[in-house]
Structure 1
Amino acid sequence: MLPARRAGRTRPRRALVPVLSVLIAVAGLAACGSGGDDGTPAPSAAAVTGYPTAVPAGTKLRVGDQGDTLRGPIELSGQGTDLPYSVDWSTFAAGPLLLEAFRAKAVDIGFVADTPPVLAAASGQDLAVVASWKSSGDQMTLVTRPGSDIDDLADLKGKKVAYSTGTILQAFALRALDSVGLGQRDVEQVNLLPTDIGSALSRGDADAGVLVEPLASPYLKDNPTARLVVSGGSVAPFVQYLITTRDVLDDPAKAAAIGDFVKRWVRGLTWRDTHVDEFVQKQYVEKQNQPAEIGKLLLTKQGVATFTPIDGSVVEGAQKLADLFKDSGVIPKKLDMSKLFDTRYNSAVEEATK
């Protein structure tokens, strides 16, 4: 059985759900040709003619969420009403688990950060990225254990560094190391769940580690002799994707439903970013029984989401990450990341952002 929780069956644990909502540890493949000379993905027939818009009666869209990241903004903004299809929500603890659900054909669409698709592409998994957005905040930080003499990233050479394999935490760590000419081979990785890294640092089981909010701020407050080595925004933008599969896109009913879902997601996330107090009250305080300050911290650290069309710059960012993973020995061979993206829903994003 897949490690998923059907929404509504169990009550989210107070601390874990918002944490996993931002771990996004995790986040296509439909354009069939190779990229053009300028690095942009070659348009498929779908990219030229657009996607089907007629949703037949009885269509169901199975959506894979992490925490309540997709469902919250869509439903609280009113974008979840009057759907021309039914939605079957499933919640996953991390991006790699969601990828397993795609392999089992148990979900039709979901979201991950930019790391899981690289690993999926390396294994030959059928995925398609249909929408992309960046967040402006500092959700992740690389911090030291209490009392450490580590002053900067170069001091991490030969040290034990804690981050989760196959997640955006790993990508953050590798990008940070790469900025000073180091790679994964230059440190001893301590592979832990994101929620266990702070405790490991406090015990001295690792010299440094990648923490996400709402774990990073309390850790630094409770451990005043720990040091913040680098924060997220100075390493790389926080990129997330809506993903599906070629099999799903080949189904006209599902493809039409995805087009509608993309527009609702863009509008829902825009509403969240412009109604922060209302969203915090409804999502974190009333729905998850979290203190308002936790919700505000999370949204502040996430920053404002900006949707961008899938174009050459998006593909280039994914390619750089894949090349970094290859050079660090995480994946065995060079990948052509242009094959992971499908441009047919760019018009849906454009329409929803007007």
Structure 2
Amino acid sequence: MSLERRPLGSSGLRIPALGFGAAPLGNLYRAIPDAEARDTLKAALHRGLEYVDTAPHYGLGLSERRVGDVVRGHQATISTKVGRILFPAPNANTGMERYGFRTPMPFDARFDYSHDGILRSHEASLQRLGLAQVDIVYIHDIGRLTHGDAHPHHWQQLTQGGGLRALRRLRDEGAVKAIGAGVNEVAICLDLLDQAPLDAILLAGRYTLLEQGALDTLFPRCEQTGTSIVIGGPYNSGILAGGAQPVRHYDYAPPPPAVLDKAEGIAAVCARHGVPLGAAALQFAMAHPLVASVIPGLASVKEVHETMDRTAQDIPADLWTELKQAGLLAPHAPTPVREVAA
């Protein structure tokens, strides 16, 4: 199937409605051989997933290296992130999991949202990717959820310390085509939109089949500012992925009982309609008109093909009606509409 291309804010970019989240290529939770990582991304590009999102954080540079080695010379839209500076760590224990990644890269990271830190991070990413330019740069993981008591310091770096100014400079000088933020909390997005116009917000896990709180706060604001949404984590870390043995994770941790109950209720409705849970989760996230792209993390060629199958799955309108009537889905949430052949 041919993927629809959607505009990204006012950047002039048009990106596929379904993209490729490259965190797994940084060996997220498990090591992926180089050949498997390469074949996975090649398969995704072949199927039309020509928007690829990576970050220095993903495997401490490993994801960027792997992405660059595949996309170099291909037609693809590439995004990476700023806010962390990698530095050599000769004594790093590369045999153990670090920051959730099983990476052999002998580096560590420190947060830096200052003017010079943003520019340095961008330049270092180009070196790791082996690319002269990326299309989109996101501020990564700013917010209290990540930084706790250190948030005021990092926010000051980003605002008064010139981080946002550096980001606008990259766009104004043509080094990138679009700027935004890649976060997993709604409140910081509203704060950012008070400070600067953004082309896009990559929102991870906060607008899914399981939760739609962003509908009432963030989405109206983005509509006013002309800011597109890119959805990361459409399966909420696996709890919405479905399958014979669904992953019992929510936000990278065991789910609270209320969340688990709701997820099981959604799964039961999907089962009654003969629809895979993962297909419903993916198509729901793609249905909102503000959403430019949905970027599930993909770790194998099999997952690439399963993802494409999920986008093609026929979902009856009655499924969405039942979810709303059961209180499992916000009543005003847009849902997919299937075109009926004449």
TM-score (ref. length: structure 1): 0.27
Of structures 1 and 2, the one with the larger relative CO (CA 8 A, separation 6+) is 1
TM-score by length of 2: 0.27
